[in-house]
Amino acid sequence: MCGIAGWIGPEAGWDAEAFRKGLLRRGPDGSGVWQSERATLVHTRLAILDLSEAGAQPMERGRGQEAEGGRRAAVLAFNGEIYNFRELRAKLEAEGERFVSDSDTEVLLCLLVREGEACLSKLAGMFAFCFWDEKTGEALLARDAFGIKPLYYRADGGTLAFASEVRLLQRADDRMDGNALRDYFLWGSVPEPATLSAAVRQIPAGHLLRWKNGKATLEAWQEAGGGRQEAGGMRQWAGVVREALLESMRRHLVSDVPVGIFLSGGIDSTVVLALAREVMGAGADIRTFSIGFEDPAYDESGIARRTAEHFGARHTEWKMTADEGAAEIPAFLEAMDQPSIDGFNTWCVSKLAHREGIKVVLSGLGGDEWFAGYRSFGRLPRFRLAHRLSGPLRPLAARLLETRPAGTPWQRLAAFLRGGGSWLEAYHAQRGIFTDEEAGAITKIFTDRALRSAFQESLSLPVHPREAVSVLEVTRYMRNQLLRDSDVFSMAHGLELRVPLVDVRLAEMLRNIPPEIRLRKGKKLLLEAVPEVPEWVINQPKRGFRFPFQQWIEGRFGELLADAKRQSPVQLETWYRTWAVAAALQQLRSFGAARD
């Protein structure tokens, strides 16, 4: 796990040392710069596999063997983990390849030299990389199928610059992307491929970018689509799911350093702990981490503690005081690479794990999306049914809903009834922050440009309603909010966060299960597959990982919220709407972009 950056083409004002320093928190264990007349690749290392110098990057193909003209022919800057690298390596060795390290980086580099982008479908893991072929003058940049690891780029003239963080590619005179800002106010995060800078884009999940002769070509290498939907009963599928979960867990435990687990006390993190216990064995030392609070209204640490004891894990808890929590907010805001309404929980528990000397942790992220853990699975089909059945009564129903207090979800539901009734509009009624009209009004404070339509639904969705919701949750909320926040705020502490429930091979199997079985209410299939989950975890109300964040920031940073209310042209009655504007203002101050 690492940070990567660099450029292909003329220097165009970029500085390798500035890139290296900007990425050090992502890779505190080492760094390197590779340069030729046509390319510069920068890497900072968080050593997880092959801790020796043999695993250092940027890595050149044929270490110790000079290529034509005294330059080695190919070089790789790679961020992520290829969990099946030993299996791939064994096949390559059988075909005559030789390796000098025990790293996944060298295996990936060998595959790219031999097969180019055709090798991507063989990879089980999370990745973002830049592969440069000095001989052909072609660069290949790619991200994993779910977009677990980030990769941003900008093309200025004949130069392509790339980095793991947006801030490294922004310039003070960049024009702000008004549509990206409006979309943030709609959803609480900036949807890919956009960033607040109109000049900086993100390579979409499952896509690759090919750069040659000063031109970029972007294409999908893997789509997160549907499956074959094979027949089978609940009991049969529970066994299949369990084996697939265990296989994913075995992959995600591949490491040359200890691996910990974030334990919230909910079903998904408990599933991860139960699977890890089976894979690692009864005597293995498993470390778990959670956050608790002095305020009993928010403190749920007792459940996590009890669960850790049940599975024989060594549990570490940070019982945060109000002063400790408030003291974390400035650094948390500083680490934010794009505006987000969430992520503080990840920041805090990542700091705890790092403080305890851990470099790799597992998270239960993904369970709600694959096994219908959100309320959206029931609500969205009902929203669309109500839209369809209300017919000519929709305008009246919308007017009645608009009489409810401003800033509440009822306002978004009213906007949905006035709209076309699409899945994306229904999803916004459930997940959104501001209505389209409100988001546009706030955005106009910073830009006068015309905004495109907010709800252009280009995603092809399955026919089954609950399966359609699952695709929306995976490709919207999980991809743009949860995975991005997990990466940004864990890597801010030099911590690699792995998500065994967000695994390509696991997903391929899950998509084959009929939705009426996989997406039953209450995550029934997941609980059938992992019956070790204790009843005190199953029967507790679903509350999420809650923090007294509102109290802390109101008490110590009240001016930040007051400023948001002063600048907003719409009412900000609810806490989460006020915080959404405040977080954006913080980003816009540090962004330095010219306002239109």
Q: How far apart are CA 74 and CA 105, in angstroms?
A: 13
Write the pLDDT tens digit of every residue in 420-450: 999 999 999 999 999 999 999 999 988 867 6
pLDDT tens-digit readout, 330-366: 999 999 999 999 999 999 999 999 999 999 999 999 9
Q: What is the average per-residue pLDDT within 181-200? A: 95
Q: Provide the strand spans (E) within 378-463.
A: none
Long-range contacts at 527-532 (CB < 8 A, ≥ 24 apart): 527/267, 528/234, 528/235, 528/238, 528/241, 529/238, 529/239, 529/241, 529/242, 529/245, 530/242, 530/245, 530/271, 530/274, 530/275, 532/274, 532/277, 532/278, 532/311
Which residue type does 495 have?
Answer: L
> Where do runs of H (alpha helix) occur along 366-408?
367-370, 376-390, 394-401
Binding-site residues, in ranges, read 104, 291, 363-364
Name the band, by pLDDT with cuts 50, 70 and 90, for residue 72.
Answer: low
Is-contact 34 40, C-beta < 8 A? Answer: yes
Q: Tokens 């998500």 correspond to what residue?
A: 499
Q: What's the pLDDT band for 173 if we cut at 50, 70, 90?
A: confident
Give the residue-averaged pLDDT of 120-125.
Answer: 96
HSE toward the beta carbon, residue 164, CA cutoff 13 A: 31
Q: Could you report the per-residue pLDDT of 289-305, keeping only the tens digit for each?
A: 999 987 777 777 899 99
Please name every residue paired with 34 in a beta bridge, in sequence order, or none if there are none: 41
**What CATH number is given for 247-372+474-503+527-557 in this structure?**
3.40.50.620
464-482 burial by CB neighbour count: b if 16+ within 10 A, else e?
Answer: bbbbbbbbbbbbbbbbbbb
Q: Are 176 and 221 in contact (CB under 8 A)?
A: no
Query: Chain-wide mean pLDDT for the chain?
Result: 90
Out of 2, 110, 130, 348, the active site residue is: 2
Instruction: List, for residues 490-523, the tens digit of each pLDDT value.
Output: 999 999 999 999 999 999 999 999 999 999 999 9
Q: Output 70 or 383, whichever has higher pLDDT.
A: 383
CATH architecture entry for 2-220: 4-Layer Sandwich (3.60)
State the binding site for L-glutamine: 104
Confidence band (pLDDT; 50, 70, 90) for 234? low
Stretch 562-588: mean pLDDT, rounded? 90
Task: State pLDDT tens for residues 523-559.
Answer: 999 999 999 999 999 998 765 556 777 778 877 788 8
Residue 143 near residue 129, CB atoms below 8 Å:
no
Mean pLDDT within 200-207: 97
What's residue 279's pLDDT? 97
Q: What are the extents of the domains in the chain?
A: 2-220, 247-372+474-503+527-557
Q: Over range 315-332, report the average pLDDT.
A: 91
Verify whether residue 110 is a known catalytic residue. no
Output the six-digit token pair for 393.
Answer: 């009564």
Annotated binding-site ranges for ATP: 291, 363-364
Q: Are 27 and 79 in contact (CB under 8 A)?
A: no
Residue 65 binned pLDDT confidence (cut-offs 50, 70, 90): very low
pLDDT value, residue 66: 47
For residue 193, is the peptide bond before it cis, meaning its omega torsion is within 30 degrees of 0?
A: yes
- Whether 260 has a pLDDT exceeding 80, the answer reads yes
What is the predicted pLDDT for the residue at 63?
42
Rounded to 10 degrees, the C-alpha dihedral 338/42/97/255 comes to: -50
Tens-digit pLDDT profile for residues 146-158: 999 999 999 988 9
**Non-local CB neighbours of 279 within 8 Å, separated by 6+ positions:** 246, 249, 250, 253
pTM more than 0.85: yes
What is the spatial distance between Cα 119 and Cα 100, in angstroms, rounded to a whole number?
21
Amino acid at 344: F
